[in-house]
Structure 1
Amino acid sequence: MSKQKKIPEFKTAAEEREFWESHDSTDYVDWTQARLASFPNLKPSTKTISLRLPESLLDRIKIEANKRDMPYQSLIKAWLAEDVEESRRAR
């Protein structure tokens, strides 16, 4: 394999992003030496949304969450994640 180019030092994240948008990383990184990394303690970013639900539906969700001893918003997130995963696998 040929010698890798030296990665330049960047003053800002925007400068680095612009560089990588126009350069091939294989010229700078020997990907054959890459190893799988795991970051189990990283918490995914969340975004607050507004969701209008009929009161009766929200009441039923809260009852179900109470039966499972979990916050109702966590239950909604779990149900959404399960449904999205099932939809992804069904394709």
Structure 2
Amino acid sequence: MKKFKELPIFKSEEEESTFWDAHDVTEYFDMSKAKSVRLSNLKKTTKSISLRLPVDMIEELKVKANAMDVPYQSLIKMFLTHALKTA
């Protein structure tokens, strides 16, 4: 049976991050016992993009979004999500 190294106690997340940048996790943990988990409550990482739309389209989106009581950018994301699921 493989002997694993003892994990040091870290003073900060930055110190731990630096440690893992230079070390292999398999020297400290038995990865054969690792279990897959789903972190469903994590907020997805987003990235800003620039998208040119006709002014009248933006105004129409704002009117529809206002009627639904949601920000217009959220409405655009809802439309895109729906389109991707049905494509």
Q: CA offsets, 1:38-76, max 9 Å, x none?
A: 222233366788877543121232355468x46222222
Equivalent residue, structure 2, for 1:27: 27
Alpha-carbon distance in structure 2 between the residues aligned to 1:77 and 1:40: 19
Residue 76 of structure 1 pairs with residue 76 of structure 2: yes
Letter in structure 1 aligned against 2:26: T
Task: Give the superposition deviation at 1:20.
Answer: 0.5
Question: Taking structure 2 as the reference length, what is the TM-score of the superposition?
Answer: 0.65
Unaligned runs of 5+ in 1: 87-91
How does 1:3-82 map onto structure 2 within 5 Å? Answer: 3-44=3-44, 54-63=54-63, 65=65, 69=68, 71=70, 72-78=72-78, 79=80
Alpha-carbon distance in structure 1 between the residues aligned to 2:58 and 2:25: 49
For these two proteins, the number of residue pairs brought into alignment is 83
Secondary structure (helix, strand or coil) at the match of 1:2 reads coil
Residues 1:16 and 1:53: Cα distance change in structure 2 (over 3 Å): same
Unaligned runs of 5+ in 2: none
Alpha-carbon distance in structure 2 between the residues aligned to 1:80 and 1:17: 34
Identity score, percent: 43
Alignment RMSD (CA, Å): 3.2
Alpha-carbon distance in structure 1 between the residues aligned to 2:6 and 2:57: 58
